[in-house]
Amino acid sequence: MLASEIIKRVKEIQVRTGRQVADVLAGEYISVFKGGGIEFDEVRPYIPGDDIRSIDWNVTARVGEPYVKRFVEERQLTLMLMADVSLSQEFGSGSRSKREATAEFCALLAFSANQNDDKVGLVLFHGGVEQYIPPRKGQKHALRVVREVLAHGEETPESELLQQSNPTPNDSDFWNRVKSRFKFNRDKTLRSADQTTDIGQAVQFLLSVTKRKSVCFLVSDFLDDGYEQALMTANRKHDVVAVLITDPREMEMPGVGLIALQDAENGSTQLYDTSSKSFRDSLRKAGQKRIEDLEKSLRKRGIDFIHIDASGSVVDPLVKFFRMREKRSRR
């Protein structure tokens, strides 16, 4: 994808998701994601009826009359988006690939967060951590997040794309610590096909760089295993939501005879007879079972789950999730 095409695609996503945020998600996001607790605001004179437990005895002793501490809800959130940019995400049998659906989903969340003055950060990963953008506010920053999800791995001029996110020069120790613990590719080159997805390592990276409690959306096709414990650990500190992106052809295959299919994760190729009804039935059953087993496994571990079909709406599953969370919080 050329730089001009990426910029055009980002603008299209901005226009479409911007309207959806304004028309559909305006109240859903803020009603579901509360602040991280309460924070001190001010002291004020005591008013009869105030809880005596809120009296600030130091100020009261100093001024000679009772004062109470006033606390307000801490509204600002930190939203972390973890996007899988492995080669399997490039697959798309319809109008958009799984990567493009991922970018659109991230745009919905980034623009919703921006509207509510929340910070948004990004981690791109596959077999290693490809890029980390620290959480920040602002419309330009939200656009940058979307652009990086779409443009990662493309050889595009830096003058046309936003600069790769780097800490300040004073943060060189940070990068040294990170690189000593994680596989980290800081250029924009595509990795080879044998570098399969490593969700567990990406989650460990998140824990190492995000100290403040955050809401984390992990967006992937989850072609990996052995990551459940890492997700459970992260979910104890953060609010982790797993977002599965699939394509219809991963479950339904037309009968077109013998075809060679290549595994984008490891590069292996195998012949399949799509004219066989038993093959198509087994493919459909295996695909459905994978989704059901993944959802069951994650929910069993207390991790919320969203399933998005890359050929369908990205908004509807997100709205459904928001309403489920809001309903659950009222119990």
Contact 117, 100 (CB under 8 A): no
Structure tokens at 314: 């990205």
3 three-class SS:
helix
Query: Residues 6 or more apart from 3 whose CB is under 8 A from it?
Result: 151, 154, 156, 157, 160, 161
DSSP 145: H
Averages of pLDDT over runs of 10 residues in the chain (331 residues) are 60 69 66 59 85 89 91 73 93 89 91 87 92 92 88 54 42 52 47 67 93 92 93 94 95 87 79 89 94 96 95 90 83 67
- Helix then strand then coil, in percent of the chain rounded to 5, is 45, 20, 35
Structure tokens at 280: 């198509």
Q: Which of 142, 269, 139, 256 is nearest to 193 (CA)?
A: 269
Q: How far is CA 302 from CA 34, 217, 232, 239, 240, in A?
A: 19, 14, 8, 10, 9
Q: How far is CA 199 from CA 87, 166, 247, in A?
A: 14, 22, 20
pLDDT value at residue 10: 66
Asked whether the whole model's pTM tops 0.85, one would answer no
pLDDT digits (tens, 9 = 90+) for 197-218: 899 999 999 999 988 889 999 9
Domains plus CATH for the chain? 3-33+77-329 (3.40.50.410), 37-73 (no CATH)
Q: How far apart are CA 255 and CA 273, in angstroms?
A: 8
Q: Which of 154, 96, 157, 114 is nearest to 130 (CA)?
A: 154
DSSP H or E segment with residue 9: helix 3-23
Q: Which of 257, 273, 211, 267 is nearest to 237 (CA)?
A: 211
pLDDT value at residue 187: 44
Q: How far apart are the first and last CA of the chain?
A: 47
Contact 205, 132 (CB under 8 A): yes
Q: How far is CA 67 from CA 7, 49, 312, in A?
A: 56, 13, 57
Q: How far apart are CA 185 and CA 176, in angstroms?
A: 13
